Structure 1
Amino acid sequence: MTDDWRQAKRPVSAVLAGPYGHPFHPILVTVPIGAWLASVVFDIGSHLVDDPGFLARGAQWLIAIGVLGALAAATVGFLDLFAIPTGTPAFRIGLVHMSLNLAVTVAFALDFWWRAAGTDPDAAVAGGPLALSLAAVVVLAVSGYLGGKLAYHYGVRVADERTQATGFRR
C-alpha cells in the first residue's frame, strides 16, 4: 500500500470528520439529497392537488433544510478532501465533486430566494423554480456518482482490505 493511499484513508481530524473507516460525510449527505429530492416531488405534486400551496410551502422548507444540511456535509467533506494527496486522480475528482456540490447548493439557495421573493404562497410552484430544481438535481446526481467513485473505486476514507477482511473471519 502506498503512502498516498494510506493518507486518503485517514481522517484529517477524527473528531470532526469521523474515525478511520467510518467518515461522517456519507451520512450527512443524505440530508440535503433527501430534502432536495423530496422538494422536487412536492413541486410536481403541487401541480396535481387541490391545495397546491401546502406542497409548495413544504418544498420551500425542504429546500432550506437541504441547504443547511449541505453546509454541514460540505464542511466535513472539505476535511476529507484534505486527506487526499494533491496531484492524484482522486484529488481531481474530489475537486470536481466539491465544485458541483457547491454549485447545486447555490442553485437551491437561489431557488429558495426566488420562491420567497415572488410567488403566490397558495399557488403551485412556478415553472422557473421547478426547472431550476430539476437542473440542480441532475447536477447533484452527477456529483453523487463522483462521490461514489471516490469511496468505492478509490477507497477514500474507506478502511483498507485487511481491516475489512476481519468482518469475514469465523
Structure 2
Amino acid sequence: MAADFPFRDRGPRAVPLADLSAGVLDPVLRKRAGLSVALVQAWEEIVGPHVSRRSRPEKIQWPKRVRDSGRNEPATLVIACEGSAALELQHETTEIIARVNRFIGSYAIGRIKLIQKPIYRMEREKPAPLRPLSLAESKRLASTVAAVENPDLRAALERLGASVMAKRR
C-alpha cells in the first residue's frame, strides 16, 4: 500500500497561517475585546467594502449580568471609524446590527457605539497586468476550447487559458 501512495508518510500537510493564527488569537480577542477573529475577518462581507475601508470592529461590550433577571441583555458593538464615515455609519446602525447578529447567529448586539479614530489598512498589491497573447497562442487556445458547446463555459475557459498562457512567459 505504501508503494501506491509515495507521499503518504511525509508528515503533516501545510496549514494556512490564517488558520493557525485564528486558533491563537481567537481566545485572546474574546477575553480582551469580546470579538472573534471571524467577525474581524468577515467585516467587509458584513458591512460592505465601502464602509469596511473606513471602519473596523473594536470590541463588544457586554452588560453586567443581573442575577435576578432571567434574560441576557444585548451587547454594544464598538466600531472605530474615520470621522468622515461616522455619519454614514450612524445612519446604517440598524442594518449593521441586523447583519452582525445574522453573522453571529443570535440576537447578541443591541446597539452600536462609534469611536472616531484613524483606520490603518494594509492595501493589497494589485497584480501586474497580463501580457497580450501572440497570434499563434490565441489561435491555439481558440482551437483547444472550440469543442466546448456551451458558449459561456467556452468563454470562461478561454479567459482562464489566456491568463495561464500569459503568465508562463
Which category describes the TM-score, using the shorter chain as reference length?
under 0.3
TM-score by length of structure 1 reads 0.23
Work out which structure has the larger RCO, using CA pairs closer than 8 Å and 6 or more positions apart in sequence.
1
TM-score by length of structure 2 reads 0.23
Rg larger in 1 or in 2?
Answer: 2
The structure where helix makes up a greater share of residues is 1
The structure where strand makes up a greater share of residues is 2
